[in-house]
Amino acid sequence: MNKPQDVVSATRDKFDATVLDLLQPDDFREDLFPVGRLDKDTTGLLILSNDGQLAHRILSPKKHVPKIYEALIAGEVTATDVKRFAQGIQLEDFLAQPAQLEIITFDAVANQTLIHVQIAEGKFHQVKRMFEAVDKAVVTLKRIQMGSLKLDEDLEPGLIGH
């Protein structure tokens, strides 16, 4: 699924629409669940499955399945930031494992940097918190890949691919 913004990665929620609420009747199954989570405001690749073993293989930190995100960052991301990400970043509650940060473009007029970042963990707000640790703010965040599974660029938000 290409998860849109303002939808939660859950099977049920009392307050917000869930990713399962977006499914067409022919695609819905009671046993489906999101494999991993994306924050309410984060978009992109979300796997829906009924296979618990698959979920474990993708999500277990011991498996080191890379997750790649595309983000728009307020300010200029620098070579120093790339090095800090590569070393791992100490957050308030844990040491984030080394991450691969790639600067795609910097828009000097908007003062924003488009980046790709690859992490293997995926803890609570991890990418956002890593950028906060280097005094930057995430404007938009989209997961574009999990392991070898890539988000189909033609897949509209809210729709699923087969």
Residue 162: pLDDT above 80?
no
* Residue of 155, 112, 134 lying closest to 143 (CA atoms): 155
Q: What is the pLDDT of residues 1-19, one digit of tens each?
A: 999 999 999 999 999 999 9
Q: pLDDT at position 36, please? A: 83
In percent, the amount of the chain with pLDDT more than 90 equals 76
Rounded Cα–Cα distance for residues 150 and 162 (Å)? 13
Lowest mean pLDDT among 6-10, 61-65, 71-75, 79-83: 61-65
Q: How many Cβ atoms from other residues are within 10 Å of residue 68's Cβ?
A: 20
Q: What is the pLDDT of residues 92-136, one digit of tens each?
A: 988 999 999 999 999 999 999 999 999 988 778 899 999 999 999
Give me the residue spans of the domains in the chain.
2-59, 62-146
52 φ, ψ (degrees, to nearest 5): -65, -35
Query: 2-59: what fold?
Result: Alpha-Beta Plaits (3.30.70)
Q: Does domain 62-146 have CATH number 3.30.70.1560?
A: yes
Decide whether 2-59 matches 62-146 in CATH topology.
yes
Query: Which residues are the active-site residues?
Result: 39
* Residue of 96, 93, 89 lying closest to 134 (CA atoms): 89
